Amino acid sequence: MSVEAKKAIRRTHVTTACTACRESKVKCDGDRPKCGNCKKGTAKACVYQQGEDRRRISLRKAIEVFSARVSQLEAIIHEHGLAVPSIATEDEALIKKMLDYIKPHESSPPKQGAKSNHGHTITDSVVVDCNQRIEQPPETFAMSTDDQSGEFLEPQHTMMMMNDGVDLLENIIGDSYTLQPSANFMEIDPTGFNFETLDWNAAFPELPPGVASAWDEINYSHSDEQPVHERETFDEDEESIDSSDGDKDEVISQISERMGSLQVADDGEFRYFGATSNLNLLDEAIQQNNFETDPIRSRGSKREDNARLSHHVDAALITHLISLYFAWQDPTFHVVDRKMYEEKQKLYESGTDDSTFYSETLTHSMCAFGALYETRRHPHLPTPLSEFFSAKAKLWLEVELDSPRVATIQALVIMSSYEAASTRDARGWLYSGMSMRLSLDLGLHTDMAPYVQNGQMSSEEAQIRGVTFWGSFIVDQSWGYYLGRPPIHIRTEEISAQKPTNLVDAARFSSWGPYGMSTPMGSVASSALQLNDPTELVSRNWIDLCEIMSGSSLTLFGFINVTKHALQAVAEKTVERLRNWHNGLPPELKVELGNEGGVYIPHVLILQMQYYQFMIYIHRPFISRYRSQPYPPVGRGHNHARTICIESAVAISNLLTKYGSAYTLRFINIQAVSIVFSAALILVFATVSEISSDTHIGLNTHLSTCCKGLAELGKTFQNATRALEALLSIKRAWQAKLLVNTGSKRRSSSVRTHKTSAKKRTMS
């Protein structure tokens, strides 16, 4: 075979495929700069994951580079007539051992056709004088293959490399060591050299592709013609000459790694495995092929047909409902990037791409929530419209859970909020927890910078993965406060995902309009009002607010065995951090409660309401004079706690009034239900307590605002109606208890007065 033909031989497939072939789950031929599959017209970039390839560097290649470099330095030494420095005795002994190992030994050449240790058929004896450089070594190593293809591998490169190494070692040692000539290169001498240090890939030419794959799967057994030599183990110091020390260090580094990594699973999605799983040590996830071969869209469509949910929905209606979701729900609980969603939706509908950032579940969940704001009837579709889309989302979710993606997590976040609006708390709580679990499964909580640097994902994709995680985090925290249960507990120290920027840059802001309020369906905006939309800035401050509360809320409402002094200390520290957060807000997020003419974006008003709700949460346990207050008293006491709670409730009432006058409470984020409920409860407590009549009148006004607000919210969210009913029930119960106590006091006072009057009459 000619040299050109041999050079043309390449492996059919490579061990590390490009990212496009990984996602498509097809074999990659490894061509650079574009592999064969990517040359066929794929829209994706052909990028190789060099940064994550943990395979060791070939020792043969490393020796080649090292040998060439030392030869250059050797030539310079000889040209300048420099003296060769002396070598330490122990180093000389080690190098002699090396030379003993690689030098030929005088022995009879093996018989023609005999097999070497690694299955090579030796057709001719190879006799080499290691003191002379071999210019053209004979072509003597033929691979014995089943198909008898007759292809031969030339060992010129390997033989020249070995002789270069011999010359190099002789020059290093000088004349103190002389090699014995004329011996068989293939025969190994039992001189005590550690055979485990031998890199057989460096000693022999590369196997043909067909043989190489099979050869890797067999155990290197010795033939009868080549007896097995007993191996002598070296001391720890002698093992230091092992040329694979770098590889050994790499192995040690891998097994001692504390942090996990992302791996591409069977379905093409990234999965995160931590150090204790041991799976993080794999270069690639083991392909189990246990996922459904039938595409998700095909299985989902079949289930829709079986469930009789395959009604035709006009594309304009879908766009309208999704626009309602993005206008009123997503900016506060930002979890979906609309630009990326729409890009991937077009590719999905054209059948050219199946992206992690799009799914049918996500589309139907956004339509379900958007339908809560929809006031028009659609006779050709089942009613209520929101429940129709919710049923479709649940159906598709069941299909996607076998192979979840980023869009699945986004859908779960939205579906959890929808279930809350429908008063199905158990299912909503479950969906929120699932979104957090899957966020960890897909590694959304980790820093994506290394994967962007090595080309595994774009910076935009990494950013959206972070947005998805933090959106799920905020909603899960909100669920914890809404139901009074501990959310999925993940410490912020365990999260390395990049947060949204906290920099104020108006150029980065998109525009926001109150879509759906007054203009016909399908218009771009519902009024001429267009405001700068600092959604990213709002999200960052939501995250900061939740992080401030996460630790303290667990202590205040989760720990039983905690001292009152510890509770007081935690509360004081948290209040200080909350005030610092509020005072440090950028102007774009500040609201002047006394400014009746100001126009504020809805999610900024909700963010301000959330701050005051957290102030209520922190101070509420200390309203009692005895229950949580330490003794002797510490801090400002229970009266201060009552004052802060009432002031915060009044602030929420004022913000609700601002929101209702600027927009309407029919179009608002669902978090408003929980916030208004908390404020109204404090105002009920204040109005039924013993306070002055003037204050009572003012608080009744704010209580009326909150109750009317819940009634208005009930037109969109069923849980608002439930909150209003619960509020009225609590008020009646409290009033009844207070009236009983007041009646007892009045009767007791009346008896004492009557006895005193009778006594006076008797004395008189």
Domain count, the chain: 4
589, part of any domain: no
Q: What is the pLDDT of residue 649?
A: 97
What rounded mean pLDDT belongs to the chain? 76
**Is 127 a residue whose pLDDT tops 80?**
no
Mean predicted confidence (pLDDT) in 605-629: 90
Asked if residue 63 and residue 41 are part of one domain, the reply reads: no
Q: From the centroid of its chain, how far is CA 727?
A: 40
Q: Write out the two tokens for 689.
A: 């307590």
Asked if residue 577 and residue 436 are part of one domain, the reply reads: no
100, part of any domain: yes
* Three-state SS annotation for 603-664: HHHHHHHHHHHHHHHHHHHHCCCCCCCCCCCCCCCHHHHHHHHHHHHHHHHHHHHHHHHHCC
Asked if residue 579 and residue 461 are part of one domain, the reply reads: no
**Is 210 a residue whose pLDDT tops 50?**
no
Q: How far apart are CA 189 and CA 101, in angstroms?
A: 7
- For residues 479 and 490, is the Cβ–Cβ distance under 8 A? no
User: pLDDT tens digits for 269-290?
Assistant: 777 777 677 776 776 655 555 5
Q: Which of 499, 533, 557 is the last residue of a domain?
A: 499
Task: Please name which of 427, 550, 544, 548 lies closest in space to residue 488, comparing C-alpha atoms.
Answer: 550
**Is 150 a residue whose pLDDT tops 80?**
no
Asked if residue 212 and residue 357 are part of one domain, the reply reads: no
Residue with tokens 């009225």: 728
217, part of any domain: yes
The domain that holds 34 is classified in CATH as: 4.10.240
Asked if residue 541 and residue 493 are part of one domain, the reply reads: no
Q: How far apart are CA 762 and CA 764, in angstroms?
A: 5
**Is 408 a residue whose pLDDT tops 50?**
yes
Mean predicted confidence (pLDDT) in 433-457: 91
Asked if residue 476 and residue 623 are part of one domain, the reply reads: no
- For residues 649 and 610, is the Cβ–Cβ distance under 8 A? no
Q: What is the pLDDT of residue 18?
A: 83
Asked if residue 72 and residue 36 are part of one domain, the reply reads: no
Residue that wins the pLDDT comparison between 295 and 424: 424
Q: Write out the two tokens for 296.
A: 């998700």
φ, ψ at 329 (rounded to 5°): -105, -45
Parallel/antiparallel/unpaired status of strands 510-512 and 531-533: antiparallel
Q: How far apart are CA 438 and CA 412, in angstroms?
A: 10
**Per-residue confidence at 46, pLDDT binned at 50, 70, 90?**
confident
Asked if residue 485 and residue 535 are part of one domain, the reply reads: no
Q: Which of 499, 533, 553 is the last residue of a domain?
A: 499
Q: Where are the alpha helices (DSSP H) in 45-186?
A: 59-79, 89-102, 156-173
610, part of any domain: yes
Q: Comparing 27-36, 182-191, 402-411, which segment has the lowest mean pLDDT? A: 182-191
Q: What is the pLDDT of residue 310?
A: 84
Which residues are CB-neighbours of 611 under 8 A, at least 6 positions away? 545, 578, 581, 582
Task: Please name which of 431, 452, 449, 536 lies closest in space to residue 498, comparing C-alpha atoms.
Answer: 449
Q: What is the pLDDT of residue 419?
A: 98
Asked if residue 485 and residue 344 are part of one domain, the reply reads: yes
**Is 32 a residue whose pLDDT tops 50?**
yes
Q: Which of 204, 219, 243 is the last residue of a domain?
A: 243
User: pLDDT tens digits for 351-362?
Assistant: 766 788 999 999
Asked if residue 432 and residue 317 are part of one domain, the reply reads: yes
Which residues are CB-neighbours of 596 under 8 A, at least 6 positions away? 658
227, part of any domain: yes
Asked if residue 429 and residue 542 are part of one domain, the reply reads: no
Asked if residue 549 and residue 412 are part of one domain, the reply reads: no
**Is 482 a residue whose pLDDT tops 90?**
yes
307, part of any domain: no
504, part of any domain: no
**Per-residue confidence at 502, pLDDT binned at 50, 70, 90?**
confident
Q: Report the percent of the chain where pLDDT is more than 70.
A: 65
Q: Comparing 88-102, 107-121, 519-533, 683-697, which segment has the lowest mean pLDDT? A: 107-121
Identify the domain containing residue 151 by its residue range. Answer: 59-243
520, part of any domain: no
Q: What is the pTM of this model?
A: 0.65
User: pLDDT tens digits for 374-400?
Assistant: 989 999 999 899 999 999 999 999 999
**Per-residue confidence at 319, pLDDT binned at 50, 70, 90?**
very high
Residue with tokens 């008003």: 605
User: H/E element holding 291?
Assistant: none
Q: Write out the two tokens for 701.
A: 């006004």
**Is 88 a residue whose pLDDT tops 70?**
yes
User: pLDDT tens digits for 10-27?
Assistant: 555 566 788 888 777 788
Beta strands in 208-257, from DSSP E residues, in sequence order: none
